[in-house]
A and B are shown apart, each in its own frame.
Chain A
Amino acid sequence: MITSTSVPLDIALRMLLNGAKTTIVLSVFSILLGLLIGLPVALMETYGGKTLRRVAMVYEGTLRGIPLLAIYFVIFYSMPMLIGLGLSPFLAAVVGLGIRSSAYQSQIFRSGIQAVDEGQIEAALSLGMSQWQIIRHIVLPQALRMSIPAWMNEYVIVLKDTSIALALGIVELTRQATYLVSITAEPFRYYGLAALFYLAMVLPLTYLANWMGKRYGIKGTGGAMDVRL
């Protein structure tokens, strides 16, 4: 039986704000981890030999075909028992979201890399550059720039999916909102505020991503790909 207790608004707001802070911190760490892993995987998949490519594709395919919640449970419950590596809830949340994001980010970077005009690579080779020099000086700068809109889109997805970390006990925004609703029985107010927080973070980023998509994105894909898969 839910009893309706009133919580002073300033305390409630502070709780939500703390939740929002955790959401943002979690999202930033996760997206960066995703970048750290995703970029090398993209390079592996584009320039690697057959085995490397196969490994990258399996990595990508697996992480994209499993729910984040399942990834979390495997990391948090299965991993300690199987390989003795136990992670704190926060670390598990970051690692789980991070490696999942890395699978999508590697796709994004691959598209960016492939969008770099063949002719430039031929020109670079003709100058005598090595494969690695070409990647470093010609391909990556352009590929990364073209990937920005889609990458920002991915960040928005990561931001929203931080909510799933509450299953590991992380006190983020959605969890705070639900907690407040369960105490006060005022869903409109607290879910409404939580929704506003998310929108305030997501909408500007989405518009920015779309705008950048028009300027820097890959022509013909409309820039920011709203790919959910």
Chain B
Amino acid sequence: MVWETIARYLLHGLVVTLELTIVGFIGGFAFGFLLAVARTYGGRLSRALSATYIELIRGTPMLLQLYIIGFGLPLVIRDHFPNFVMDPTVAAALGMVINSAAYQAEYIRGAFNSIEYGQVEAALSLGMTKWEIIRHVIFPQAFRIMLPSWTNEMVYLLKYSSLAMLLAVPELMYEASVAASQTFLYAQIYLVVAGIYLVFATLIIGIMRKVELKLHIPGVTTIKR
């Protein structure tokens, strides 16, 4: 009976966790892509700015970044807009996007760099434009090369979304602690929650592996046993 209630809490939390993960991943990719382009093809200023950003984010803990956005930022905004209140979930999502982008930018850059310039030369020699080359030669290969990094990143975001709990975001960990404090079933609940994360992490890895196998091209991607 009690477990029905607990399950409801956890389910609500799980939904928020998954939302944070997905938003973090997609936002991180979009922003990360821009960073990667700025870092590789930009002018001196763009390259410096994006490189600095990436180093800054990768050199500090995600939790610190979440606190800065969820706690520090509202303080600063309240200096000018005294009634400003930030939804902690939005703050957490923002923090995760900002964090993920820095890492994804490097994955994207790595994928771009791993395509030898010779293929670009060949495409140019056929008369293709830069955009045609990106679309027909670079993108199909870069996309496949990045799949393992994506798997990595998705699982990472799934796990680290738990930090949002410390910002009072009602994700899985938070709901678990609420349920635990009400039922005193700490031991069991936290074990179950650990299990839930494990299940979803395994699910993500399993699905992505199928995708990798389906899109595998010998010479472009490698399949690890």
Contacts and interface: CB of A to CB of B under 8 A. Distances in A.
Nearest to A182: B71
Contacts of A226: 103, 106
Contacts of B197: 65-67, 70
A91 interface: no
Given A187-B76, A191-B72, A70 B60 contact: no
Interface in A156-206: 160-164, 166-167, 174, 177-178, 181-182, 185, 187-188, 191, 194-195, 198-199, 202-203, 206
A196 to B, nearest CB: 9
Interface residues of B, number: 46
Nearest to B165: A69
B152 A174 contact: no
Given A81-B187, A229-B152, A65 B75 contact: no
A227 interface: yes
Nearest to A2: B75
B61 A191 contact: no
A195 B56 contact: yes
A131 interface: no
B53 interface: no
Interface stretch (A29-37, A72-80, A144-152): A72-80
- Chain A: interface size category: 35 or more
Contact of B163 (A64, A69, A181): A69
Label chain B's interface by main secondary structure.
Answer: helix
A174 B63 contact: yes
A203 B162 contact: no
Contact of B162 (A67, A82, A229): A67
B194 A74 contact: yes
A68 interface: yes
Given A73-B190, A82-B187, A65 B198 contact: yes
B68 interface: yes
B190 A70 contact: yes
Contacts of A182: 71
Given A202-B59, A206-B59, A229-B156, A70 B193 contact: yes
Contact of A167 (B60, B166, B191, B198): B166
A163 B64 contact: yes
Given A65-B202, A181-B75, A77 B159 contact: no
A62 interface: yes
Interface of A: 2, 61-62, 64-71, 73-74, 77-82, 160-164, 166-167, 174, 177-178, 181-182, 185, 187-188, 191, 194-195, 198-199, 202-203, 206, 226-229
Interface of B: 55-56, 58-64, 67-68, 71-73, 75-76, 103, 106, 151-153, 155-156, 158-163, 165-166, 173, 176-177, 180, 186-188, 190-191, 193-194, 197-198, 201-202
Leading 6 A-B pairs by shortest Cβ distance: A187-B72, A65-B201, A81-B187, A67-B159, A67-B162, A163-B61
19 contacts: A65-B197, A66-B198, A67-B161, A69-B173, A74-B194, A77-B187, A78-B191, A160-B61, A162-B61, A164-B61, A166-B166, A177-B64, A178-B67, A178-B71, A188-B72, A191-B64, A194-B64, A198-B60, A226-B103
